């Protein structure tokens, strides 16, 4: 188990992966490694966030309330104490 | 499984849908956490500005969830309008439905049934659509 330094808020639809935990902890220097760490702890979670190695279009990830797409996406640098929020888009046709 | 909603909220959603035609209109109704009761209607901007697609702006989406958390509320209803088709979830509606606890309300303002409208409610869980009865209270 790595040092749990970054708080990750999990949306309802993904809580079956986290045994219903709303907030979990993960470690990593960038978003990509945090997602890897999450997937290690909660197998299958990465697949719900990534598609062909990129962030899914209809999943929003925020770092300290900023859309991670504006922070470098998967390469967004993270540090201890950062807070990540995952929210599925509300969208449709 | 059913949705009970006030006439005033139904009217407000239909009014918004007509006002934003030909784009799809969208929004949520919030209520006290765990009560499954729609109390506070909050129209949202359709960031897609499209007659065939709707999407909450990611910034608005985060603000909405923060607000809901701060007020000990939940998203009871997620609604949007169909402008040319019936009030039934489209393939994209089903693919992107991300709130298993919400009532997905669809309204249709399509011309062929005007001035009548449709107002229907569904659960969309793991790709499965289940329509539910709607009770409108005067």
Query: pLDDT digits over B76-90, tens only?
Result: 999 999 999 999 999
Query: What tokens appear for A49 in the block?
Result: 């966030």
pLDDT in tens, A18-67: 999 999 999 999 999 999 999 999 999 999 999 999 999 999 999 999 99
B3-137 domain in CATH 3.40.50.300?
no
Instruction: Say yes or no for a CB contact (<8 Å) between A90 and B90.
Output: no
Confidence check: pLDDT of B129 > 90: yes
pLDDT at A3: 57
Average per-residue pLDDT in chain B?
96
Is B5:B20 a contact under the CB 8 Å cutoff?
no
Question: Least CA distance to B98: which residue of chain A?
Answer: A88
Fold of the domain spanning A6-88: Ubiquitin-like (UB roll) (3.10.20)
Q: Do A92 and B59 touch (CB under 8 A)?
A: no
Sequence ranges of the domains in chain A: 6-88
Residue A61 Cα distances to A44, A54, A69, B16, angstroms: 17, 12, 8, 29
Domain range annotation of chain B: 3-137
Give the tens place of pLDDT for each residue, B7-24: 999 999 999 999 999 999
Residue B31 has pLDDT above 60, yes or no: yes
- Looking at the complex, does the CB of residue A89 fall below 8 Å from at least one CB of chain B? yes
| Structural contact between residues A74 and A29, judged by C-beta atoms closer than 8 angstroms | no
Give the pLDDT band of residue A1 (cuts 50, 70, 90). very low
Q: Which of B35, A52, B52, B30 lies closest to B44 in space, CA to CA?
A: B30
Touching A: B residues 45-104, CB under 8 Å: 48, 52-56, 58-59, 61-62, 65-66, 78, 80, 89-93, 95-101
pTM for the complete prediction? 0.93
- Residue B98 to residue A88, Cβ atoms within 8 A: yes
């Amino acid at each position: 188990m790595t040092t749990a330094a970054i708080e990750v808020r999990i949306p309802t639809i993904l809580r079956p992966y986290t045994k219903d935990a709303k907030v979990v902890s993960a470690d990593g220097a960038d978003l990509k490694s945090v997602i890897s760490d999450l997937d290690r702890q909660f197998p299958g979670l990465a697949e719900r966030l990534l598609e062909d190695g990129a962030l899914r279009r209809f999943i929003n990830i925020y770092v300290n309330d900023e859309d991670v797409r504006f922070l470098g996406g998967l390469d967004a640098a993270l540090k201890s104490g950062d807070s990540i929020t995952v929210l599925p888009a509300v969208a449709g046709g | 499984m059913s949705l009970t909603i006030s006439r005033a909220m139904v009217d407000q959603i239909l009014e918004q849908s007509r006002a934003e035609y030909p784009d799809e209109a969208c929004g949520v109704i919030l209520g006290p956490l765990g009560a499954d009761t729609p109390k506070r209607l909050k129209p949202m901007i359709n960031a897609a500005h499209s007659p065939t697609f709707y999407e909450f702006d990611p910034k608005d989406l985060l603000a909405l969830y923060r607000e809901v958390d701060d007020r000990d509320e939940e998203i009871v209803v997620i609604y949007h309008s169909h402008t040319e088709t019936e009030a039934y979830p489209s393939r994209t509606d089903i693919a992107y439905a991300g709130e298993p606890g919400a009532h997905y309300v669809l309204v249709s303002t399509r011309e062929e049934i005007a001035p009548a409208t449709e107002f229907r409610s569904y659960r969309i869980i793991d790709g499965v659509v289940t329509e539910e009865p709607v009770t409108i209270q005067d």
